Amino acid sequence: MDDGLKIAAMFLTTIAVAVFVVNVWDALRKPKKKKKGGHVSVHSLVDGTEKPLSETPQGKLGAKIAKGVCPDCGGKGGFYEGPSGGMSTNIYCMNPKCRAFFNFTPMFGEAHAERMGKAPSWFKYPGEEKNGPSGTQTDDRPN
């Protein structure tokens, strides 16, 4: 590489580092704005915006479920707890006619929920038969 290109590359690198340092310094000096809503924020990877979890569709759904109200049937009987993993738990509406199925995660005093559809056929509500007359499994789980 000739000397002129080396000098230009060093100059551009110096400018880029200076811009980075100024931006970091500026970010550290500015007081952080207090966010309205809850404690948990959701950062969009699409457009870079940030908003409180309580303002997202999943946050609104989670808040309703956290109160024990089924968003699908409006029932206030609560939910059955199903399998869980990590921070989330599968929950099923207690109304056997509704059978709404959600993935629910309480976090930092707020809640996140995703609609998963209806309870799977292997999830038996109280009073429903778990096994066939000969004791064979009647659900769709593998044996």
Q: How confident is the model at residue 102 (pLDDT cuts 50, 70, 90)?
A: very high
Q: What is the pLDDT of residue 33?
A: 55
pTM: 0.57
What is the rounded average pLDDT for all residues in the chain?
Answer: 75
pLDDT, one tens digit per residue, over 5-64 is 777 777 667 766 555 555 655 666 655 555 454 566 777 777 878 888 788 888 888 888
Task: Decide: 113 and 105 in contact? Cβ < 8 Å.
Answer: yes
Task: Decide: 73 and 93 in contact? Cβ < 8 Å.
Answer: yes
Residue pointed to by tokens 């009073």: 127
SS3 68: coil
Q: What is the pLDDT of residue 27?
A: 60
Domain boundaries, the chain: 41-118
